[in-house]
Amino acid sequence: MTNSIYAITMAALFTTIGFKSPEMEKPSTWNKNQVIAHRGAWKKKGLPENSIASLNEAIKLGCYGSEFDVHMTSDSVLVVNHDPDFLGLPIATSTYAQLLEKKLSNGEHIPTLEAYLKAGKKQKKTKLILELKPAKVSGERDLQMTRKAVAMVQQLGATAWVDYISFSYAIGEEVLALQPGAKVAYLNGDASLERLKASGFYGADYHFSVYKTGDWFTKSKALGLTLNAWTVNNAEEMNWLLDQDIEFITTNEPERLFELLKTRK
Ligand code: MG
């Protein structure tokens, strides 16, 4: 059999049995820019933060990533919301059914992580920046939530879409233990880049003021880590960070950051 006939035969066979290599499933089409929409892109269009609508708007804008926050209900459903309370209901001590009694301003129910990941997976350009929120109930509960979240990402085949972030170092380490090679950044501003590197983190994702002192930008590049800054909403700070060649900027104003990036070209 010649090589070409062999290739055609194998391609036909794989098509017939639905074979896909892991590489074929990994999109390499991610937007190449610094823009991460904080809780989705909600502000300009008056959408609720952390709604599927705000995720879709971030995708429409062409952001590198759309950030969102994950909590766990009392009956262990993972949901997307910023605060520990959803419209007055404490998530950690409410059931998912109780949360469904309230709606976001655009008519959406509180999104489940499953629904969020499925919505994000419909495209291959904007990454899903998944923040795991410690619940201040117990460290063990936080780790349970982490295990459930990573398992769900894997079950849905969404690992290539998801970068993880957390204010909890223990949560970040748990993600890395569950999924070696996962892209995990730490939010709390109190760990050195050397420590993050040694723990296997992808980078630091700190309040922008942290980067004003010290040699974060040269050191991160030397260590092969990324830097992300939150939450940067004005042009002056955006420009300063871009001047330092930062990898990512997390903002409530993704449209403003895109405009500014255009003027800098
Ligand atoms: Mg967040």
Q: Which residue has the higher pLDDT, 28 or 202?
A: 202
Distance separating alpha carbons of residues 54 and 128, to the nearest angstrom: 12
pLDDT at 26 over 70: no
Confidence of residue 18 (pLDDT cuts 50, 70, 90): very low
Domains of the chain with CATH codes: 33-264 (3.20.20.190)
CB 59 within 8 A of CB 66: yes
Distance (Å) from CA 30 to ligand 1 centroid: 21
Q: DSSP states of 93-139 as a string?
A: GS-HHHHTTS--TTSPPPPBHHHHHHHHTT-SSSEEEEEEPP-SS-H
- What is the model's pLDDT at position 93? 96
Average pLDDT, the chain: 92
Confidence of residue 3 (pLDDT cuts 50, 70, 90): low
Side chain identity, residue 172: G
CB 173 within 8 A of CB 136: no
Widest CA span of the chain, in angstroms?
69
Confidence of residue 138 (pLDDT cuts 50, 70, 90): confident
Distance (Å) from CA 7 to ligand 1 centroid: 47
pTM of the model: 0.89
- Packing angle of the helix pair 235-243, 254-264 (nearest 10 deg): 50
Distance (Å) from CA 156 to ligand 1 centroid: 22
- Packing angle of the helix pair 52-61, 254-264 (nearest 10 deg): 10
pLDDT digits (tens, 9 = 90+) for 145-203: 999 999 999 999 999 999 999 999 999 999 999 999 999 999 999 999 999 999 999 99
Distance (Å) from CA 213 to ligand 1 centroid: 24
Q: What distances in angstroms separate CA 250 from CA 94, 97, 124, 242, one per listed residue?
A: 30, 32, 20, 12
Confidence of residue 20 (pLDDT cuts 50, 70, 90): very low
